[in-house]
Amino acid sequence: MKKLATLLFFLVLLSPAMAQQKAQYSQYLFNNFLLNPALSGIESYTDVRMGTRRQWVGVDGAPVSYYISGHSSFGMSEGNGPVGPGAGRGFIPKLPSKNPRSTKYRKARPHHGFGAMAQVDKTGPLSTTNASLTYAYHHPITRRINMSVGLAGGIIQSRLNGHEIRLANKGDMAVYPGVMARTNFDLGLGTWIYAQNFYVGASASQLLTNVVAQKEGTFAPEQKLQPHFFLTGGYRIRVRYDLSIDPSVMLKLASPSPLAVDVNFKAVYANRLWLGMSYRHGDAVAAMTGMNVNHVLDFGYSYDLTTSGLNSASSGSHELIVGIKLANKKRMLCPEWLW
């Protein structure tokens, strides 16, 4: 079963018409910056995050992903945005007031955001490395609602190591026996509309649809970059002053692959602890948990239970994310804006 699943992976990855190419993450809820450059500089601190995902544990050659990202604001006043929620000095967080009308609010000011990220995704003999720089401009629409637009530019290198592929017929030229590699430029765009209690975002990546596997003969495989499109939205429901529930949804399209839908629910207690569930249609159900340790460090973990046909060979997927808040002058425990 493992060998059969591995062979299916190769067939999927070598065909430009069968699968999405970007790494998949369950905890994008805590780092939407991975999908949308418009989040660059959304907070008043420098947000650095590192994550890893091991997918379909138990299946030979299953995807393993790593990333590091960081973004910061420029020109943001400390008086921007809501005052109070999420801040705290010491271990006990400062919570929103029991009386919502008592929460002070200052209109955000226009500012810029800059960021960078690097990702590595390896699936059997195929590996992809992505590095990019981002820029965003944030501007208030109303006193409580803001909008940002962002741009990401970088490079993508794809490598197929033919030496790691074992074929029954060693003379079969369907797979080139050497190492094929191609580096291309990458372009992404995004927009984000956000307030204290909701967000809506749209983004696109891999817009430069270049060939990423160089042909080395008539039978050598060829793969093209697929444009990926994301539409996300979320809303915060304040159950009581120290507990909120945040439902959200994401639509993902990487034509000609079918539309993928994620539905998520996250509960946050005292701006410090969170629990969540995520349903990915036709793929998996995920359980998530995490903690804001203090105003510098936070972490999260998720476990995906596979619901597709691979569940007979896989024991699930694991994902870990660690966040570091630098220059956090407000001593925010959790993001000031909902994302």
In this predicted model, what pLDDT tens digit does every residue of 59-72 receive, in sequence order? 888 899 999 999 99
The pLDDT, as a whole number, for residue 91 is: 44
The pLDDT, as a whole number, for residue 186 is: 92
Lowest mean pLDDT: which of 8-17, 124-133, 172-181? 8-17
The pLDDT, as a whole number, for residue 89 is: 45
- Please say whether the dihedral angle defined by the alpha carbons of residues 277, 281, 282 and 283, taken in this order, is positive or negative: negative
The pLDDT, as a whole number, for residue 176 is: 58
Give yes or no for residue 210 having a pLDDT over 70.
no
- Cα end-to-end span (Å), the chain: 40
Give yes or no for residue 184 having a pLDDT over 60.
yes
- Residue whose token pair is 């290198």: 157
| pLDDT tens, position by position, 259-311 | 999 999 999 999 999 999 999 988 899 999 999 999 999 999 999 998 887 77
Give yes or no for residue 32 having a pLDDT over 70.
yes
Lowest mean pLDDT: which of 32-41, 82-91, 276-285? 82-91
CA atoms within 13 A on the CB side of 220: 18
- Pick from 330, 331, 264: which is nearest to 300 by CA? 264
- Pick from 274, 286, 276, 277: which is nearest to 323 by CA? 274
b or e along 135-149 (b: 16 or more beta carbons within 10 Å of the residue's beta carbon)? bbbbeeeeeeebbbe
| pLDDT tens, position by position, 134-170 | 999 999 999 889 999 999 999 999 888 777 777 666 6
The pLDDT, as a whole number, for residue 283 is: 84
Domains and CATH numbers, the chain: 22-82+107-165+176-210+224-326 (2.40.160.40)
| pLDDT tens, position by position, 72-82 | 999 876 555 55
